[in-house]
Amino acid sequence: MLMTDDQVLRVADLIDRPGASRRLDVLPAAPDDLQLPLAEVTGPLRLRGVVESVVDGLLVRATLTAQLRVSCARCLVALTERVEADVVELFTAAADPDADPEPGYTYADGVLDLDALLRDALVPAVPLRSLCSEECPGLCPQCGTNRNDAACDCSDTITDSRWAALEGLRLPD
């Protein structure tokens, strides 16, 4: 089993040896250019799985785990959430003239750079809507009070002045 904390994976022993494989347990840092507008990576990433040599290159099958800091969609309180993403990516030789590799999914000099794989797996794994609890009442839309902490005297009925002329309208039964 390979255990490392580097951004690159040394795979020279697997290149051009179809059928050869190796267990993978990597603790890389988040890529420098990773942009998560709804979250922040707070802990180390962990990539566990297998690197396998295949005819077309090197296949990485693994699970990426990360700790993220996100905000509750209702009350905006900071939360820590653990996310997981399954990864299956084929890396091809950078010098292979027959390959049409995805940018970032090539290897050269016996080394795989993990940045593209980590970024492409982590971005879609970020939850779009996190809640501190299912019962979270959220923020008051009028005064902004966090209703988890305190009650406010604001009315829950919000009227739209554009419909004010119709308030007195009574339809016959």
Residues 94-98: contacts with CB under 8 Å, at least 24 apart:
96/57
Give bridge partners of residue 90 from the DSSP assignment. Answer: 59
Angstrom CA distances, 49 to 33, 46, 65, 99, stand at: 24, 10, 11, 25
Q: What is the pLDDT along the chain (173 residues), one digit of tens a residue?
A: 444 546 788 888 898 889 899 999 988 888 888 888 889 999 889 999 999 999 988 999 999 999 999 999 999 999 999 999 999 999 988 776 666 667 788 888 888 889 889 999 999 999 989 999 999 999 988 888 899 999 888 877 767 788 888 888 888 87
Whole-number pLDDT of residue 80: 93
| Amino acid 3: pLDDT | 44
